[in-house]
Amino acid sequence: MTQSKDEMVTIYILGKRHNVPKTLTIQKAMEYVGYRFVRNCGCRGGVYGACLTYYRIRGEYKLRNALACQASVEEGMEVSQIPFIPAKRSLYDLEEVSDIEETVKKYFLEVFRCLACNTCTKACPQDIEVMDYIQAIIRGDYQEASELSFPCIMCGGCVARCPAEISQPNVSVLVRRVFVRNNLPALENISRLVEEVKEGKFNQIIDELVEMEIEKLKEIYSQREQEPLEKKDWKPQHPDFPANLL
Ligand code: SF4
Ligand code: SF4
Ligand code: FES
C-alpha cells in the first residue's frame, strides 16, 4: 500500500536522504530503505542495548542518542549508528574478589574522577540516574548503586559522552556482582539448576534442540510458560520444559 505524503517523513541515514513512514522506529526505517542488519540489532525490544544510535534534527544544535529499536523517526532526523563503544573492561576473578572499594580502586580507579556533570544521565536512553549510581559507588553506598544501575542495558551511551572517561556500565556490573554475592543469600532454585546443569541433566535435550527443525523449535518456544513479573511463589506447570514437549 502506498503511503500518502503526510504519512511520510524525510530522514538522513549516514548523510543520505530517504522518505520513510513516520510510524516506523529508526531501526525499521533503516530496513525499509534497504539496510540489512548484521550488527547493531539484537533483541528489537530495548533489552540488550545493541542498537545505540546518534541523531540530530536538522537545524537544531543538540546531538542526541537513542535506541534505534525504540525511538521513532522524526522529520529532519540525521542518523548514524555506532557499531561498538570500546568501554573499558577489566578481567577479575569473582571468586577472589570480596572488598568492593578495593576492587573498584584496583580496576576502575577513574571512577573517582567523576565531575558530577550529569552528562551520563542525560545520555541514557533508559532514563537511569547514571551520575547518581556513580556517586553512590564513590560514597561506598553499593546497595544504592546496585539498585539504580540494575536496569542498565549496557548500550554504552553514557560511556561515549563522559568527560571523565568512565565506563559506567562495566563498573556497575562489578559492584552489583560483588555486592549481591556478599549480601544476599543464593536463590535455592538457581543453585539447584546450576547443579543440574553440572550433572548433565540437560545435555540430551540441548542436543535434540540443536538438531531440531526451525519450525518445530518455534512451536516449542511459543508454547513455553513464562514467569510473571510480580508473582513470587510462581512455579511452572511443566518444570521439565522443553522435555515435556519433545
Ligand atoms: S558523565 Fe562522567 S563525569 Fe559526568 S557525571 Fe557522569 S560519570 Fe561523572
Ligand atoms: S547506564 Fe549507560 S550503558 Fe547503561 S543503559 Fe544507560 S546509557 Fe546505556
Ligand atoms: S535491538 Fe536490542 S536494544 Fe535495540
Q: What is the mean pLDDT of residues 31-49?
A: 93
pTM of the model: 0.84
What is the per-residue pLDDT for 53? 97
CA distance 153 to 199: 32
- The binding-site residues of ligand 3, defined as CB within 6 angstroms of any ligand atom, are 41-44, 46-51, 67-69
94-183 topology per CATH: Fumarate Reductase Iron-sulfur Protein; Chain B, domain 2 (1.10.1060)
- What spacing in Å lies between the alpha carbon of 164 and ligand 3's midpoint? 26
Q: Which amino acid is at 227?
A: E
Cell 545505540: give the residue: 52
Taking all residues of the chain, what is their mean pLDDT, rounded to a whole number?
92
What is the per-residue pLDDT for 242? 72
Q: Are 41 and 82 in contact (CB under 8 A)?
A: no
Structurally, at CATH architecture level, domain 5-81 sits in Roll (3.10)
Nearest to 153 by CA among 212, 31, 68: 68
Ligand 2 pocket test, pick from 126, 159, 170 with the greatest ligand atom count within 8 Å of Cβ, gives: 126
Residues of the chain with CATH 3.10.20.740: 5-81
How much helix, strand and coil, in percent to the nearest 5, is found in the chain?
A: 40, 10, 45
pLDDT band at 1 (very low <50, low <70, confident <90, very high): low
CA distance 137 to 104: 9
Residues of the chain with CATH 1.10.1060.10: 94-183
Render pLDDT for 150-208 as a digit per residue (tens, 0 to 9). Answer: 999 999 999 999 999 999 999 999 999 999 999 988 888 788 889 999 999 889 989 99
